[in-house]
Amino acid sequence: MNSEAPPEIRVPEPGSWDLLKQAVRGSHHDYTSGSIGRAIFLLAVPMVLEMVMESVFAIVDVFVVSRVGSDAIATVGLTESMLTIIYAVAIGLSIGATAVVARRIGEQDREAAARAAVQAIVIALLASAPLAIVGIIFAKPLLELMGASPWILENGVTYTRIMLGSAPIIFLLFLNNAIFRGAGDAAVAMRVLWLANGLNIVLGPILVFGLGPFPRMGVAGAALATALGRGTGVIFQLRCLLRSAGRIEVRRRHLRLEPPTLITMLRLSGSGMVQIMIGMTSWLLLVRILSGFGSAVVAGYTIAIRMVIFALLPSWGLANAAATLMGQNLGAQHPDRARSAVWTACRWNMVFLGIVGLFFFSFAEPLVAFFSRETEVHAVGVACLRIVSTGFVFYALGMVLSQAFNGAGDTWTPTLINVLCYWMVELPLAWFLSHRAEIGPNGAFWAIVVCHTLLAIVSAVLFQRGRWSQRRV
């Protein structure tokens, strides 16, 4: 294996307008040679912008639905809780798709990359069809099981039926974008999400309130707008996969089942799904621990964590860039360059989130006051934001290293780390500090910091050992 020293790392100047335009427009840059800093910049910028649109969409969508009433918001909330299963499976499958496609591109085997893309699409359709059928048929019983109000059971079922029934569209959107990221076409993935969410933002008010010639559909209109926006995004994705100008090009000869590749993707994706599920269940159980202190505490925590998540979104751009560079450089037999790229992404992310954390710590009071001035809610929100922000540097390190393992095809390492840090440390420690040690909600907040600090340290130690370089994908 060629592990010669990587080329000199030259970080692009922040004011480089041409480089920024190239990142947004997309290019056929070779990510297995040249400046590592430039490679990370070209990949991370569109990935960050992709996440920004996702966050804007979430805010606008909730705002539009809130105009209908509290029951409409509850309909969205209950449905979203069911959709988390669909998202978890889709994200898990996308981990395998990115790893396999990136490795084939790094090996300069575009034929194999195209065949891998087809296998990912097949997996998306096969995995999503049963979920969609169950969602369409059992939408009302599922809402009843979730404790929906009579208004929701009468007026919100259509919303839930459309959202759960659009599972194949959601899966294809995730999987196709994973293919583009693995191939290094991050700008395409960005444009897809901007198109899908942009349409959703435009169509949402039109269909919800019946503007112009369109009928007033209420909360169901929001679901239809989302499905139409995502569906249009999927059509655009398929068009990009079939065109000849992209890094990955699917032709009729690639449209066949390839069992070994299918098995590899499912193996990688299985542990990827477990990773996501661990994070989701730990978040739900943490809320359960905090709920014992009353709704004001939960409200304060929710406000703070929403701001934290919003701040972390750009960091996922750098983490995803690290995953792509890891896969492609391992495919090109450059493990040392892959390692250097990951550590460079870690440094950039730590600087960024370190600054954000300092900002949150210093201005927690006015930031939380923007959402709520209720005394107890505000106090809890400020405490949570300040405590959690002290660990931002470690969050930055941990998220990049976790994605780097995934990009290398070593999906079980971050999965086991998550089990240790979330289930064996964070949750027991949160319960002990908040209830037994009588620290209160702040004990749970400190448990979050301890968990992610430990996750970053363990990930760094295992990454430095380098066993990920021996993974075959």
Which three-class secondary structure state does DSSP give residue 30? coil
| Distances, alpha carbon 21 to alpha carbons 18, 28, 362, 440, in Å | 5, 14, 34, 49
Q: What is the pLDDT of residue 22?
A: 81
Residue ranges per domain, the chain? 42-257, 291-470
The yes-or-no verdict on residue 70 having pLDDT over 90 is no
Structure tokens at 72: 């409409």
DSSP state of 432: I
DSSP 105-164: HHTT-HHHHHHHHHHHHHHHHHHHHHHHHHHHHSHHHHHHHTT--HHHHHHTHHHHHHHH
Residue-wise pLDDT for 173-223, tens only, equals 999 999 999 999 999 999 999 999 899 999 999 999 999 899 999 989 999
Residue whose pair of structure tokens reads 């909600």 in the numeric block: 441
Residue 59 neighbours by CB distance under 10 Å: 12
Among 178-187, 306-315, 318-327, 419-428, the minimum mean pLDDT is found in 306-315
Is 15's pLDDT higher than 70? no
CA angle 191, 197, 202 (to 5 degrees): 120
Torsion of CA 369, 372, 374, 375, to 10 degrees: -40
Percent of the chain with pLDDT over 90: 60
Closest CA to 173 of 183, 162, 188: 188
**What confidence tier does 9 reach under pLDDT thresholds 50, 70, 90?**
very low
- Considering all CA atoms of the chain, what is the largest pairwise distance in Å, rounded to the nearest integer? 66
Quote the pLDDT of residue 217.
Answer: 92
- Is the pLDDT reported for residue 13 higher than 60? no
Rg (Cα) of the chain, in Å, rounded?
A: 22
What 8-state DSSP symbol labels residue 261?
H
Type and span of the H or E element at 326: helix 295-331
The answer to whether 57 and 201 have CB atoms below 8 angstroms apart is yes
Least confident of 61-70, 100-109, 138-147, 252-261: 61-70
pLDDT number for residue 296: 85
Question: pLDDT band for position 146 (50/70/90)?
Answer: confident
> Above 50 in pLDDT, residue 248?
yes
Q: What is the pLDDT of residues 455-473, one digit of tens each?
A: 999 999 999 999 999 888 8
Instruction: Report the pLDDT averaged over residues 316-335.
Output: 93
DSSP summary character for residue 336: H
* For range 123-149, the mean pLDDT: 91
Q: What is the DSSP string of 155-194?
A: HTHHHHHHHHHTHHHHHHHHHHHHHHHHHT-HHHHHHHHH
Each residue of 398-420: pLDDT tens digit?
Answer: 999 999 999 999 999 999 999 99
